């Protein structure tokens, strides 16, 4: 039942912050980048994406502003804040710890053959 998407739960914000680290971007583009970066294996659902933006902005990890496009659909850009960078560093450190922990916990003694 559990598909990959289920295991990514909790990493959405980290993924977004990593994409914003060096340049501001907007929802649609971020999601396309993630899709390509994942080799077409993963893509955020829009509701998940915008939910994460809201939480990150409330937490002061990102700031948003409207782009000045004169043509095409309007875009809301997001830029990462110093707090967001700190949060990203902490999240990645936590991920490294969690990875090790899960690897230990799912070890099992294989039956002798």
Partner DNA sequence: TTATATACCTTGACAGGCGATGTATATTGT
Partner DNA sequence: ACAATATACATCGCCTGTCAAGGTATATAA
Which residues are near its own copies by CB under 8 A? 1-4, 6-11, 13-15, 17-19, 21-22, 34, 37-38, 41-42, 59, 88, 91-92, 94-95, 97-99, 101-102, 104-111
Q: Give Cα 5 distance to the centre of its chain.
A: 12
Those residues whose C-beta lies under 8 Å from the C-beta of residue 60, and which sit 6 or more positions away, are 81, 83, 84
Task: Select the binding partner of residue 59 from its own copies, DNA, none (C-beta < 5 to 8 A, by kind).
Answer: its own copies
CA dist., res. 72 & res. 77, Å (int) = 15
Q: How far is the CB of 109 from DNA (least distance, A)?
A: 21
Asked if 40 is part of the footprint of DNA (rule: CB under 7 A), the reply reads: no
Asked if 26 is part of the footprint of DNA (rule: CB under 7 A), the reply reads: yes
| Phi and psi angles of residue 70, each rounded to the nearest 5 degrees, phi first | -100, -10
């Amino acid at each position: 039942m559990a598909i990959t998407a289920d295991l990514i739960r909790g990493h959405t914000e980290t993924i977004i912050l990593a994409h914003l680290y060096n340049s501001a971007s907007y929802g649609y583009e971020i999601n396309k980048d993630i899709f390509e970066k994942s080799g077409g294996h993963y893509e955020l659902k829009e509701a998940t994406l915008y939910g994460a933006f809201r939480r990150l902005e409330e937490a002061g990890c990102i700031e948003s502003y409207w782009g000045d496009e004169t043509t095409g659909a309007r875009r809301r850009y997001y830029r990462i804040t110093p707090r967001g960078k700190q949060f990203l560093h902490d999240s990645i450190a936590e991920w490294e710890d969690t990875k090790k922990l899960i690897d230990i916990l799912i070890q099992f003694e294989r039956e002798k053959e």
